[in-house]
């Protein structure tokens, strides 16, 4: 999760106004993780750091986990300089400030996670953890079995060779090909570029699964807070990578 200034965190937690919180910090009354902090620009992670004022701990933000069916035409970032609709607008009524986990490009749809759990976000998005993501692809033309084999083995892109992928449920629909592809990398527009590399343009791309979480029957624009079972699966990921 993104860090915030200490005085902003204190104000949001109801300790005092931001200006008054700055005075409290300057007076040496605030500790972060047991260490006194007097620096005005000091930043903390609201979900991980312990903050005390006069020896009393400020309650950290409750961790929240949502899944959203991102529609086509929505930006999967927290803000957009061009003023386009972003995924966080679908959860702007939630008290906690949530951030998207990873990205889906503007013209793609499907599952995206939003949370204030910074450690989980790191695990789900850092390349070293190799978290699998499954997409439903519809591409122009009839993709030959040899090209499917290339996708599975890895194809050369302008930023290097892709890791092996898995292709399932290959289905020819006239002059189009529909299939599922599972990858564990997160390069920009990767699935689209992989298909271009074997000579086919993707016309529709939807993410169905991100790690242990599935899109299920969510409709475009719908969100759902993760169930206790889904959260447990995510926590298993955190435990295994701790």
Query: Are 72 and 20 found together in one domain?
Result: no
Q: Please report whether residue 193 resides in a domain.
A: yes
Q: What are phi and psi of 87, to 5 degrees?
A: -65, -30
27: domain range?
A: 4-58
Specify if 241 maps to a domain.
no
My answer on whether 98 and 182 are in the same domain is yes
Q: Select which of 45, 80, 105, 140 is catalytic.
A: 105
Buried b (16+ CB within 10 A) or exposed e, 130-167: ebebbbbbebeeebeeebbebbeeebeeeeeebeebeb
Q: Is 105 a catalytic residue?
A: yes
Question: What pLDDT tens digit does each residue of the chain (242 aa) get?
Answer: 568 899 988 887 778 898 999 999 999 999 999 999 999 889 998 877 889 999 998 877 788 999 999 999 999 998 889 999 999 999 999 888 899 998 999 999 999 999 988 888 888 988 888 999 999 999 999 999 999 999 999 999 999 999 999 999 999 999 999 999 999 998 999 999 999 999 999 999 999 999 999 999 999 999 999 999 999 998 888 666 65
Query: What's the CA gap between 49 and 122, in Å, rounded?
Result: 16
CA distances (Å), origin 100, targets 17, 42, 138: 29, 24, 25
Query: Residue 14 is part of a domain; what is its CATH number?
Result: 3.10.290.10
217: Cβ contacts below 8 Å, ≥ 6 apart: none
Show the tokens assigned to 169.
């449920």
Q: 46 and 139 share a domain?
A: no
For residues 156 and 161, give the distance between their C-alpha atoms in angstroms, rounded to a whole number: 4
Spatial distance between the Cα atoms of 217 and 205, rounded to a whole number of angstroms: 16
pTM equals 0.79
């Amino acid at each position: 999760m993104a860090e915030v200034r200490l005085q902003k965190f204190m104000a949001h937690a109801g300790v005092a106004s931001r200006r008054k919180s700055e005075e409290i910090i300057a007076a040496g009354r605030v500790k972060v993780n047991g260490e006194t902090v007097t620096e005005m620009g000091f930043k903390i992670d609201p979900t991980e750091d312990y903050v005390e004022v006069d020896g009393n701990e400020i309650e950290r933000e409750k961790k929240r986990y949502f899944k959203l069916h991102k529609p086509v035409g929505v930006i999967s970032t927290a803000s957009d300089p061009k003023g386009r609709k972003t995924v966080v607008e679908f959860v702007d009524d939630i008290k906690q400030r949530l951030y998207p986990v990873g990205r889906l490009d503007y013209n793609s749809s499907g599952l995206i996670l939003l949370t204030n759990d910074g450690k989980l976000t790191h695990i789900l998005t850092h390349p070293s953890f190799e978290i699998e993501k499954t997409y439903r692809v519809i591409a122009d033309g009839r993709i030959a079995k040899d090209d499917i084999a290339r996708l599975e083995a890895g194809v050369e892109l302008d930023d290097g060779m892709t890791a092996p992928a898995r292709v399932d449920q290959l289905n020819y629909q006239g002059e189009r090909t529909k299939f599922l592809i599972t990858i564990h990398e997160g390069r920009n527009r990767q699935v689209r570029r992989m298909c271009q590399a074997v000579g086919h343009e993707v016309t529709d791309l939807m993410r169905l699964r991100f790690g242990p979480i599935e899109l299920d029957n969510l409709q475009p624009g719908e969100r759902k807070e993760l169930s206790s079972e889904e959260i447990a699966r995510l926590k298993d990921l955190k435990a295994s990578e701790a």
